[in-house]
């Protein structure tokens, strides 16, 4: 039986990077970074990118992104005190949604140790109904589209 197994992608596949220092408590009983930590890194690189570009007001913005889908594939172990780099790109940009794709790299590695995605649907903060992506947000997202 043949499968379409995901393959580790190179650093050059991503448009934005955030260095992240692993912490002692990121390691699990097996001596490597626990899988749940990777999802925290995904959230961190996306929100850092949006906040630093002024298109996400976490506390009071009229539009918020709700995660409706996630996935992560693991290719190699990482462990404290190893620094990592989170790579980010936009894989798909819809009318009210975006698919963020993230690669997690050991500091000097050319191939991802893990990669995954999550999909945000942007909604009105008060009604929680989907809304079109605001123009400034769309422009920022287009700049890192794959």
Phi, psi of 134 (to 5 degrees): -60, 145
pTM of the predicted protein model: 0.94
Query: Please, are residues 47 and 93 in contact by the beta-carbon 8 Å criterion?
Result: no
pLDDT tens-digit series, residues 123-139: 999 999 999 999 999 99
- Tell me what pLDDT residue 133 has: 97
Banded model confidence at residue 4, pLDDT cuts 50, 70, 90: confident
pLDDT tens-digit series, residues 31-76: 999 999 999 999 999 999 999 999 999 999 999 999 999 999 999 9
User: If we measure between CA atoms, which residue out of 52, 44, 53, 39 comes closest to residue 19?
Assistant: 44
- Tell me what pLDDT residue 2 has: 58
């Amino acid at each position: 039986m043949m499968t379409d197994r995901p393959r580790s992608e190179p650093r050059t596949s991503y448009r934005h990077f955030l260095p992240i220092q692993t912490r002692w408590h990121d390691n699990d009983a097996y001596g490597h970074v626990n899988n749940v930590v990777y999802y925290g890194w995904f959230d961190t690189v996306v929100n850092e990118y949006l906040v630093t570009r002024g298109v996400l007001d976490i506390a009071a913005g009229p539009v918020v992104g709700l995660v409706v889908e996630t996935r992560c594939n693991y290719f190699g172990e990482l462990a404290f005190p190893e620094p990592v780099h989170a790579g980010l790109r936009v894989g798909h940009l819809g009318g009210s949604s975006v698919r963020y794709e993230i690669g997690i790299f050991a500091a000097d590695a050319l191939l991802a140790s893990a990669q995954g995605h999550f999909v945000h649907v942007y909604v009105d903060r008060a009604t929680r109904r989907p809304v079109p992506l605001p123009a400034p947000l769309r422009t920022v997202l287009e700049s890192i589209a794959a």
